[in-house]
């Protein structure tokens, strides 16, 4: 993407009411204004709050918002030029329950209050296969501790990925640390019983993976 195109998207993001772009200082050095107040200030209801971490173009966030109008969805990514597409689509479709937050996943505890979130989706994250990149895997122990703090006690985690490595790594970690695996599937489109929201929503890259006959895996779990 050219720099001019990026700048254009950055400028347009600033006009969207569903986009929030706090500075690091606003998140870390002070109490962020929406922390603990997302439903009250932003969505103006008390519906369940669902996050998509590393939302990319925001396709999943928008599709979930359309599918579940009685839930509130926030797509989170550090790349604003990327989730611009989702924010624009949500604006055009007038989806009041879809928003986007530009920040690093590491700062999730600064953006959300303890027990504020009902559910988290992680869709097609970079598996960070090299050992030295373990600390960047979005389902490692440190990240799970962060998610646990913002999730409600009965909060749900969802991991959907084309990476068999990421699927296996996460399952092993969950079992090893005593977390509760509610559902696991190595190929959601071949095996019966896959959750409908997992198979009925496909991202652009997911459709490419399917054309290449790559299995799409899914894990639903609780962090203990």
Q: What are phi and psi of 196, to 5 degrees?
A: -60, -35
Q: Which residue bears the tokens 């399952």? A: 171
3-state secondary structure of 38: helix
d(CA 3, CA 59): 23
Q: 126 catalytic, yes or no?
A: yes
* Structural contact between residues 143 and 137, judged by C-beta atoms closer than 8 angstroms: yes
How far, CA to CA in Å, does 64 sit from each of 60, 72, 98, 132, 197?
Answer: 6, 9, 9, 34, 8
Q: Which of 77, 118, 126, 162 is catalytic?
A: 126
* Structural contact between residues 184 and 198, judged by C-beta atoms closer than 8 angstroms: no
- Catalytic center residues: 126
């Amino acid at each position: 993407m050219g720099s001019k195109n990026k700048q254009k998207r950055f400028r347009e993001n600033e006009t969207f009411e569903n986009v929030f772009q706090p500075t690091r200082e606003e998140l870390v050095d002070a109490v962020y204004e929406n922390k603990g107040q997302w439903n009250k200030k932003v969505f103006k209801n008390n519906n369940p709050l669902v996050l998509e971490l590393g939302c990319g173009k925001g396709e999943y966030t928008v599709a979930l918002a359309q599918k579940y109008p009685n839930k509130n969805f926030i797509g989170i990514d550090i790349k604003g030029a990327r989730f611009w597409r989702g924010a624009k689509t949500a604006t055009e479709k007038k989806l009041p329950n879809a928003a986007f937050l530009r920040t690093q996943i590491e700062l999730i505890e600064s953006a959300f209050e303890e027990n504020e979130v009902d559910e988290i989706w992680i869709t097609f994250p970079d598996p960070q296969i090299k050992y030295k990149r373990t600390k960047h895997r979005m389902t490692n122990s440190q990240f799970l501790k962060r998610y646990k703090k913002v999730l409600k006690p009965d909060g749900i985690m969802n991991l959907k990925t084309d990476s068999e490595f990421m699927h296996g790594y996460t399952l092993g970690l969950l079992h090893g640390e005593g977390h509760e695996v509610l559902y696991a599937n190595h190929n959601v489109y071949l095996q019966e019983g896959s959750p409908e929201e997992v198979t009925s929503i496909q991202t652009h890259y997911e459709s490419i993976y399917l054309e290449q006959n790559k299995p799409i895996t899914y894990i639903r779990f609780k962090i203990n």
